Amino acid sequence: MKSRSGLFIILGIIVLLVFWGCGAYNNLINVDQQVKTKWSNVEANYQRRTDLYNSVIKTIEGSANFEKGTLTEVVQARAKATSVNVDINDPASLQAYQNAQAGLQSSFSKLLAVVENYPDLKTTAAFQGFQTQIEGTENRINVARQDYNASVQDYNLRVKRFPGNIFAGMFGYHEKAFYKADPGSEKAPNVDFNIK
């Protein structure tokens, strides 16, 4: 009789552990999918930016006597930014993607500065609309990055905390990289209104 009750207790503990393990595993799957969804939102907003940049480039190309060197730089930066494949489990590929996007944004900023010398272009309704849309897109990108980082934080906490770290290790779930600010962005930009 005692052996049967001991057997039932052991079986009960095993059943509880199995259910607890299934719950922990399903929880890891949920937070992993949240991270992937948030990253997809980041990529979708970068795609929106790239599409807008393409439209602006076409509008500028149509303008006579525009400086082709700056435009070429933007086109090359756009090609580089869209060619980087990201694996959100690999911090190096995430950093490469970030660097390519920063290069695109930098070259596009130069392009907009050059546009200032072309009053006919910058006053067109199409170009003004693009500028407004680009501002909104930059805001969307920032929000999407913040959402991604919040999702990564939740995921990393579940993967690193005990006892979740036991199941995470067993099922191959590892810490994910945060989206980081571009190097040097912690310093305030130098704004010079001394136009010559």
Could you give the number of structural domains in the chain? 1
Question: Is the residue at 124 inside a domain?
Answer: yes
- pLDDT, tens only, 103-135: 888 887 777 777 666 666 655 666 677 778 888
Model pLDDT, residue 110: 76
Predicted TM-score (pTM) of the model is: 0.67
The closest alpha carbon to 181, from 117, 77, 99, belongs to 99
Question: Is the residue at 7 inside a domain?
Answer: no
Q: Which residue has the higher pLDDT, 117 or 77?
A: 77
Determine the Cα angle at 108 with ends 121 and 41, to 5°: 115
Question: Is the residue at 56 inside a domain?
Answer: yes
- Please determine, for residue 185, whether its predicted confidence score (pLDDT) is greater than 70: no
Question: Is the residue at 25 inside a domain?
Answer: no
* Portion of the chain with pLDDT greater than 90, in percent: 18
How far apart (Å, rounded) are the C-alpha atoms in residues 154 and 11? 33
Helices 2-61 and 91-115 cross at an angle (nearest 10°) of: 20
How far apart (Å, rounded) are the C-alpha atoms in residues 175 and 91? 10
Domain harbouring 161, CATH code: 1.20.1440.20
Question: Is the residue at 14 inside a domain?
Answer: no
Task: Quote the mean pLDDT of the chain.
Answer: 80
- pLDDT, tens only, 141-165: 899 999 999 999 999 999 999 888 8
pLDDT band at 1 (very low <50, low <70, confident <90, very high): low
Question: Is the residue at 17 inside a domain?
Answer: no
Domain containing residue 101:
34-171
Question: Is the residue at 166 inside a domain?
Answer: yes
Question: Is the residue at 74 inside a domain?
Answer: yes
